[in-house]
Amino acid sequence: MAIREIKKYPASVLKKKADPVTAFDEDLQMLIDDMVETMYAAPGVGLAAPQVGVSKRLAIIDISSREEQYPLIVLINPSILKSEGKIEFEEGCLSIPEYTAKVTRAEQVILGCTDREGNQIEIDADGLLAIAIQHEIDHLDGLLFIDRISPIKREFFKKRHKKIAKAEK
């Protein structure tokens, strides 16, 4: 297992729709293990493969530090089958350090995906788990949480980011 570099905004891999996982092989298992180690070291509650530079539809979530009943979940080729309700939540992202914003998402989702062994599973989620699932699927679709905030807030973020990047050079 190895800790991988987390790609930061505006890395191009973060804006690309990820490719489906087709092989459930040793390389996939190693990628999952590396992502788990990377997420825990960051620390974070979720990580998508594009965030470590791999354009595959794979994400992991572990919100057990906040909700004990939800330990590590591996989502391969996930898709939201049903969603309802609305919830606003202050989100952050390992790829956009030191920035958070309120994002509106579905309050409940039913997710279809494959687990790391290749089994089809369905997850009925609400609250923080539903938010984390939607956040990670956005990564797989080439979206960041800043793409879900108002245009004015997004422009403010981009100007702030450019200013910080310029100061770091």
Angle at 121 between CA 41 and CA 78, to 5 degrees: 60
What separation in angstroms does the CA of 161 have from each of 8, 43, 144, 148, 165?
11, 22, 14, 17, 6
Query: Is 107 part of the annotated catalytic residue set?
Result: no
Q: Give the active site residue among 37, 67, 84, 136.
A: 136
> How is 54-98 classified by DSSP, letter by letter?
--BSEEEE--TTT-TT---EEEEEEEEEEEE--EEEEEEETTEEE
Contact 149, 103 (CB under 8 A): yes
DSSP state of 43: T
Which positions are catalytic?
136
